[in-house]
Amino acid sequence: MDIKVKKYKRVSVVTVAGRIDGATSGDFENELNTLTEAGRVNLVLDLGAVEFISSAGLRVLVTTRKAVKGAGGEVRLAQPSVQVVETLEIAGLDVLFEVFPNREAAIAAY
């Protein structure tokens, strides 16, 4: 898994590529926690290059959403891969996240 973070004035964009599973979800969670603890609570997660997301990855998404919501922020998904969308739908979590066709649209929504 590869994670890149780009910070803008009002939002942080986290681009993830590869697999988010039991072996990598800890790194993903640590990166997101670092951002939220620094007060970066408006997050765009670009998941277009995610090949697979497990229940451990879904847990990270949900706990991060809860943390940023409590601080007055939002988590938005930009161009999630088909696999991510299907997994969110199967788990019934698709209603928790606003999805945008690309990162620019997600950033502009803040």
Q: Give the per-residue pLDDT at 21.
A: 97
- Two tokens, residue 32: 């997101």
Tell me the pLDDT tens digit for each residue of 53-81: 999 999 999 999 999 999 999 999 999 99
Domain total in the chain: 1
12: domain CATH number is 3.30.750.24
* Mean pLDDT across 43-60: 97
What domain range includes position 26?
A: 2-108
* Mean pLDDT across 38-61: 97
* Strand ranges, E, within 1-110: 2-7, 12-20, 42-53, 74-78, 98-100
Q: Give the per-residue pLDDT at 69.
A: 96
